[in-house]
Structure 1
Amino acid sequence: MTLVTSSFSEALWHLLSLLIAYVLALPIGWDREKEERSAGIRTFPLVAVASCGFVLIAIAVLGRESLGQARILEGLITGVGFIGGGAILKQGSRTSGTATAASLWATGAVGAAVGYSLYDIAIIISAVTFLTLRLSRPLKKTAGEQGDNVDSAPALPGGANARPEPDSG
């Protein structure tokens, strides 16, 4: 196995792929940063670049047609989901950060799609994610939710973030 990419054109292709993943994630990160969310202008591009990088490495090591590619994607989906889980907070009866978590997950998919040269899918996921974040704010206000201030949903009783009530006796 070689430690260095075999050709300059291949290295340039890798660099271009990583740059495309970065650029497609930037608007999503900008939106989250502008809204003062827990993840923003640094986190989203890093998730996309890392996801793209893992896919590029897997292709170089395993080959494009390898069944191991499914395991790489499985690991990415789980890993990025774990990062997104860190953005979700429970405050009393409200849960916040769900849109940020879902956006992080989508951004991981953008990076993976770019890594596999599926640019149409990457562009669509990036655009739909960004537009959903930007255009849903007025709808949230109309629906009577907290609008621009909090990505929130009512907490589910006994959900993953539920804590047992202290014993009073």
Structure 2
Amino acid sequence: MTNYFDLQAFLPHLAALLGAYILALPIGWDREQEERSAGLRTFPLVAIACCGFIQAAEARYGEHPDAMAKIVEGLITGVGFIGGGAILKLKDSVKGTATAASLWATGAIGTAVGLGSYAVATVIAVFTVMTLKWLTPLKAEAAKSED
């Protein structure tokens, strides 16, 4: 095994990590604008970490689907744990579930990019942003009508 920096091997990884980062930015921006517990820094970091774990594992375990499945399973569990930290129970209400779900979706974006499923990652990112932007006013309207 040679220990040298291979620019040709590096550039695809850089492109994937940058793609995961860019796809997560609008989600983080939305959460930041809504002043949620996780925001502009957290979401891109979750995406690139998931992407990085997949890419690093593929170099070692890419030919072993069971090993890769365990890596993905670990990412799903780990990101779910991070999301769980965003959820707060306050008296009669629960806050942070949209942020937690957004973190989970962002982990899926990074994982999809790491696996080379750019279309899946893009669709998840678009639907997540649409859900946060378009359904938030509807939720507020529904809450008003309950009062």
- Shorter-normalised TM range: over 0.9
How far off its partner does 1:44 sit?
0.2
State the structure with bigger RCO (CA 8 A, min sep 6), 1 or 2. Answer: 2
SS state of the match for residue 123, structure 2?
Answer: helix
Task: Note the 1:101-116 alignment, pairs <5 A.
Answer: 101-116=100-115
Cα distance in 1, alignment partners of residues 55 and 27 from structure 2: 22
How far off its partner does 1:4 sit?
5.1
**Larger mean Cα displacement after TM superposition, 79-88 or 60-69:** 60-69
Question: For each residue in 1:93-148, what CA deviation from the matched residue of structure 2 results, as whole angstroms up to 9, or x when unmatched?
Answer: 111000000000000000000001100000000000011000012211221269xx
Unaligned segments of structure 2, at least 5 residues: none
Letter in 1 for 2:72: L
Q: Is 1:133 the counterpart of 2:135 in the alignment?
A: no
Bigger CA radius of gyration: 1
Q: Is 1:100 the counterpart of 2:64 in the alignment?
A: no
Aligned residues: 145
Letter in 2 for 1:24: L
**Structure 1's 2 and 56: CA in aligned 2 closer, same or farther, altered over 3 A?**
farther
Give aligned-pair identity as a percent: 59
Task: Give TM-score scaled by structure 2 length.
Answer: 0.93
Cα distance in 2, alignment partners of residues 145 and 129 from structure 1: 24
**Larger mean Cα displacement after TM superposition, 39-48 or 9-18:** 9-18
Tell me the residue number matched to 2:58.
Answer: 59
Letter in 1 for 2:42: T
Higher helix share: 2
Cα distance in 2, alignment partners of residues 2 and 124 from structure 1: 38
Letter in 1 for 2:12: W
How far off its partner does 1:9 sit?
1.4
Tell me the residue number matched to 1:81.
Answer: 80
CA RMSD, 1 decimal: 1.6
Task: Give TM-score scaled by structure 1 length.
Answer: 0.81
Moved over 4 A (4+): 1-5
Tell me the residue number matched to 1:70.
Answer: 69
